[in-house]
């Protein structure tokens, strides 16, 4: 079974606490503060790993937590940083963060820092000054970023085989590649995409057999809607059309249905190069086969060439019509030659077009900047609330039951201009102030 969806929880490591320590040695006068800083928490990094093929590993484990930074110690010893946690995903994985940001991991070795670790707290040595010789407080480390990620695998196949159920796609991919899909004479035999490799001598192509599509597939009907995403990154589509459908359907209606659903799902699919394969020719009289081939070829020759995602020579812009029979091997060699001719051997450049050049950096670190500013409001007489990321981080770093730490926080709030903003709202000494759910008196 192909696992192409997963939902996981990632948590970056928290920062280590700074240390409050004083130098205490015999025969050494004037021992001062020597508390070390806490280490930074570990980041969570997603890594594109070519050895993986689907998201099955995330079914067994859905929670990934990076290590914390070590706490600082006396004698100016800093805590060690946490070790980066690498979460490996297969090429073609689309990642959606809890805030809606989306990343594409398409090239092996590509990385993205998805959750950043919390910064470590400063030891009391960092707070020594000419007016504060013996600071008896230190900062706490901040917690790391955490949240849920939605992973979606979109296969990185060169060629996608599409068509209505029972059109002969599975039989076709089984005879031109080494794939071994389930083949039976009933619709929806293929329940998940099947990959096969076409060996062209000096290079290979990856073919994907997409489960049969029906009308309304782009809106959630049938089985194929679950796998439409797997044809988004293909470089060429092979539309497999049964010459004489066993259910008596009109081949032209089947063709229009598939093309319409592909265009509804993604407009780019409507612009991809095409090959039309008329399958199961061994079940139809030869005169009917030739008439159908001529009719379809004349139809395509009269259409304007689609605007492909990359430039093709003029002879390759036309849509070829190839008659095949998986039972008698008719047309299979012609199809192989056509596939190798029409898929350019430039996978890296094409991936850059699919994902964008900026998304292919070897290592990108996205560290959210601290938002400046705060909001002051009077909740009730004698009680005020201050909301803002800067002031909330300030309180999270200090123990407010420590008088020295509280005095430092008040000093920082004055320097940041929070006290002026409170006074403008009517604040007086001794009134209660609420910041990040903590209520205290501000003198």
- Kindly tell me if the per-residue pLDDT of 360 is higher than 50: no
Q: Measured on CA atoms in the order 72, 76, 77, 81, is the torsion positive or negative? A: positive
Angstrom distance (rounded) from CA 390 to CA 436 = 11
In sequence order, what are the beta bridge partners of 150?
7, 96
| Full set of structural domains in the chain with CATH | 1-153 (2.70.210.12), 159-348 (3.40.50.300), 375-441 (3.30.300.350)
**pLDDT, mean over the chain:** 81
- Kindly tell me if the per-residue pLDDT of 117 is higher than 70: yes
pLDDT tens-digit series, residues 366-375: 555 555 578 8
Span 370-384, average pLDDT: 78
pLDDT tens-digit series, residues 29-62: 667 899 999 999 999 999 999 888 788 889 888 9
pLDDT for residue 352: 52
pLDDT for residue 379: 85
pLDDT for residue 29: 67
**DSSP secondary structure letters along 138-170:** -PPPPPPPEEEEEEEE----SEEEE-STTSSHH
Q: Higher model confidence: residue 351 or residue 158?
A: 158
Band of residue 361 on the pLDDT scale cut at 50, 70, 90: very low
Residue at token pair 């989306």: 102
Which candidate, 145, 150, 157, places its Cα nearest to that of 209? 157
- Kindly tell me if the per-residue pLDDT of 127 is higher than 70: yes
Angstrom distance (rounded) from CA 403 to CA 409 = 10
Distance of CA 314 to the CA centre of its chain: 37
Q: CB–CB of 357/349 below 8 Å?
A: no
Would you call 349 exposed, middle or buried from its count of C-beta atoms within 10 A (0-12, 13-18, 19+)? exposed
Q: Measured on CA atoms in the order 269, 270, 273, 275, is the torsion positive or negative? A: positive
Band of residue 185 on the pLDDT scale cut at 50, 70, 90: low
pLDDT for residue 47: 95
Spatial neighbors of 28 by CB under 8 A, at least 6 apart, are none
Q: Higher model confidence: residue 109 or residue 230?
A: 109
Span 63-76, average pLDDT: 94
pLDDT for residue 155: 77
Angstrom distance (rounded) from CA 110 to CA 358 = 11
Span 147-165, average pLDDT: 86
């Amino acid at each position: 079974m192909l696992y192409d969806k997963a939902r996981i929880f990632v948590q970056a490591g928290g920062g280590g606490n700074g240390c409050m320590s004083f130098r205490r040695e015999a025969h050494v006068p004037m021992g001062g503060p020597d508390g070390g800083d806490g280490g930074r928490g570990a980041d969570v990094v997603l890594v594109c790993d070519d050895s993986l093929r689907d998201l099955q590993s995330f079914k067994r484990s859905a929670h990934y937590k990076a290590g914390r930074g070590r706490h600082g110690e006396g004698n100016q010893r800093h805590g060690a940083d946490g070790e980066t946690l690498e979460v490996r995903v297969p090429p073609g994985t689309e990642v959606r963060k809890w805030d809606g940001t989306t990343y594409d991991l398409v090239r092996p070795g590509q990385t993205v820092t998805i959750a950043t670790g919390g910064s470590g707290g400063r030891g009391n040595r960092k707070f020594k000054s000419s007016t504060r010789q013996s600071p008896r407080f230190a900062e706490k480390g901040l917690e790391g970023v955490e949240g849920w990620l939605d992973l979606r695998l979109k296969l990185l196949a060169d060629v996608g085989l599409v068509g209505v159920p029972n059109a002969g796609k599975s039989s076709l991919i089984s005879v031109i590649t080494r794939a071994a899909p389930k083949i039976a004479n009933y619709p929806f035999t293929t329940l998940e995409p099947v990959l096969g490799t076409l060996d062209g001598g000096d290079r290979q192509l990856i073919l994907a057999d997409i489960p049969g599509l029906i009308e309304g597939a782009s809106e959630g009907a049938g089985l194929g809607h679950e796998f439409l995403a797997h044809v988004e990154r293909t470089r060429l589509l092979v539309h497999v059309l049964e010459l004489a459908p066993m259910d008596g359907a009109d081949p032209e209606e089947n063709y229009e249905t598939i093309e319409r659903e592909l265009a509804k799902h993604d407009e780019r699919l409507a612009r991809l190069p095409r090959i039309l394969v008329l399958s199961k020719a061994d079940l139809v009289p030869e005169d009917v086969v030739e008439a159908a081939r001529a009719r379809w070829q004349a139809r395509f020759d009269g259409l304007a060439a689609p605007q492909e995602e990359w430039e093709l020579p003029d002879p390759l812009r036309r849509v070829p019509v190839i008659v095949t029979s998986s039972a008698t091997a008719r047309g299979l060699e012609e199809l192989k030659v056509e596939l190798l001719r029409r898929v350019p051997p430039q996978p890296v450049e094409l991936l850059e077009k699919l994902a964008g050049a900026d998304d292919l950096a070897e290592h990108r670190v996205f560290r959210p900047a601290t938002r400046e500013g705060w909001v002051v409001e009077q909740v009730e007489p004698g009680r005020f609330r201050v909301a803002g990321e800067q002031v909330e981080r300030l309180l999270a770093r200090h123990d407010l039951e420590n008088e020295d730490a509280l005095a430092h926080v008040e000093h920082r709030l004055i320097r940041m201009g929070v006290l002026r903003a409170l006074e403008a709202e009517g604040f007086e000494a001794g009134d209660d102030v609420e910041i990040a759910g903590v209520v205290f008196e501000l003198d």
